[in-house]
Amino acid sequence: MPSSLIIADLHLTSSEADKTNLFVKFCQDQATKVDQLFILGDLFNTWLGDDLSLDDYPEIISELKALSTTTKIFVMTGNRDFLLGDEFAKQTGASLIDSPYLLESGTEQYVLTHGDELCTDDKGYQQLKSILQHPITQFIFLHLPKATRSKLAGKIRKKSVKAQQYKSSKIMDVNPGAVIELMEKYPDTNLIHGHTHRLNTHIKTKFTRYVLGDWSNDAGNAIKLDGELSWLEIH
């Protein structure tokens, strides 16, 4: 039975050396000891296309490539890095996976997802997501000049941050009905997701929902599956 580590929401940037070092240390000290590493979205805070963003993270790309020689790496895109593509996968040795992803671990099965699709109360966000992540929009964006892409992404990010200031905490969390609707498609499984940054374990009647937290410059979190599920603190 393969052992797995699951993380999400590192939101790495090229300017945060401490967080980059924390992730590199995690890869070297802990991820090398398991068979599989699953990253459930938003590994990067911004990804404007492989041709533009790969050069911003040479240390991360190199570390993932080294890790891939001992550990299978599976990357699910999030709302910040949904433009991760084939060249990223090639240079890191990782496999890009779709959401939801069904993972078997011993006698248990887990539904893995980034989690933003469950935040259905945030109508504005879901509308923006449907536009930005539409294949036609992505095609057009990836064929814009690099400078234009950077400028446009900055404007969208500013609007998003401003909009969040006026949203209630409840709206930005998962909708219970959306969670139940998803889990009804996968009976006898549990759910693991990120996105909301609300690290917690929610025990329900028919399933348990495990929510990964985000990473800071000096601390992170992970779920380990190795016969049983356990939480890890990353320092």
Please say if the pLDDT value at position 164 is more than 80.
no
Report residue 5 as tokens: 């580590």
Residue 165: inside a domain, yes or no? no
In CATH, what number is assigned to the domain containing residue 84? 3.60.21.10
Residue 97: inside a domain, yes or no? yes
Query: For the whole prediction, is pTM greater than 0.85?
Result: yes
Residue 159: inside a domain, yes or no? no
Number of domains in the chain: 1
Whether a cis peptide bond, with omega within 30° of 0, leads into 187 is no
Residue 152: inside a domain, yes or no? no
Residue 28: inside a domain, yes or no? yes
Burial pattern 30-55, b for ≥16 Cβ within 10 A else e, equals bbeebebbbbbbbbbbbbbbbebbbe
Residue 147: inside a domain, yes or no? no
End-to-end C-alpha distance for the chain, whole angstroms = 27
Q: Residue 214 — very low, low, confident or very high, per pLDDT cuts 50/70/90?
A: very high
Residue 66: inside a domain, yes or no? yes
Q: How far apart are CA 100 and CA 120, in angstroms?
A: 16
Q: Residue 139 — very low, low, confident or very high, per pLDDT cuts 50/70/90?
A: very high
Residue of higher predicted confidence among 170 and 125: 125
pLDDT of amino acid 127? 94
Q: Residue 60 — very low, low, confident or very high, per pLDDT cuts 50/70/90?
A: very high
Q: To 10 degrees, what angle do helices 135-142 and 123-132 make?
A: 60
Please say if the pLDDT value at position 163 is more than 90.
no
Tokens 């993270």 belong to which residue?
57
The domain containing residue 52 runs over which residues? 4-119+176-234
pLDDT of amino acid 186? 98
Residue 71: inside a domain, yes or no? yes
